[in-house]
A and B are shown apart, each in its own frame.
Chain A
Amino acid sequence: DIQMTQSPSSLSASVGDRVTITCRASQGIDDFLAWFQQKPGKAPKSLIYAASNLQSGVPSKFSGSRSGTKFILTINSLQPEDSATYYCQQYKFYPLTFGGGTKVEIK
């Protein structure tokens, strides 16, 4: 199974900051990587697919990149409404697997 190692598990940042979350795959998954945002009590929401493609309707402050098996989610100009838990997911191989999540809090 592909292991998705996500870091950090939590972070606290100020309004206006740029935040980066990293996800590393245990083996090559090409660009088959998605990012999700989940707010408390809500279903996850797709932000990015194919490593760097923004889902329709998602603000351009969110971006994704890839370097080998390392994937990065960047959130520019952090706002209070960005407070959430973020997950990565690989969909190259079954079983589909998720990272452990990163909880983003606003200072």
Chain B
Amino acid sequence: EVQLLDSGGGWGQPGGSLRLSCAASGFTFSTSIMTWVRQAPGKGLEWISTISSSGKDSFYADSVKGRFTVSRDNSKNTMFLQMNGLRAEDTAIYYCAKDDRLDHWGQGTLVTVSS
């Protein structure tokens, strides 16, 4: 069974940093594209970033480009999202998902950015 466990959310100050993790199991992580999606309170879904299976290639939404960095450790079946330069508008539930067609999702982790 595919399982994705998001963690690392919490409170961050404007301009501060947080690091999210997504622990994967139940599939061959090292051959899977992985994606981050977020959802602001009461809003729709917003794609944030996708990383290739090897980690060599990554793609970002304009809203986070230059501030967020996606990475992965295939030896630990884990993907990361380093979030720097946090803004109030980054407040959202962050989900990791498998592949670019998002066939499985984590439970989400809440990030709140506030002074």
A residues with a Cβ closer than 8 A to B are: 32, 34, 36, 38, 43-46, 49-50, 55, 87, 89, 91, 94-101
Contact = CB atoms under 8 A, between A and B. Distances in A.
Q: Tell me the interface secondary structure of chain A in the complex.
A: loop
Interface string B37-76: 1000000111100100000000101100000000000000
A62 to B, nearest CB: 15
Nearest to B44: A101
Q: Tell me the interface secondary structure of chain B in the complex.
A: loop
Nearest to A50: B101
B84 interface: no
Interface stretch (B12-20, B21-29, B102-110): B102-110
Contact of B44 (A46, A49, A100): A100
Contacts of B80: none
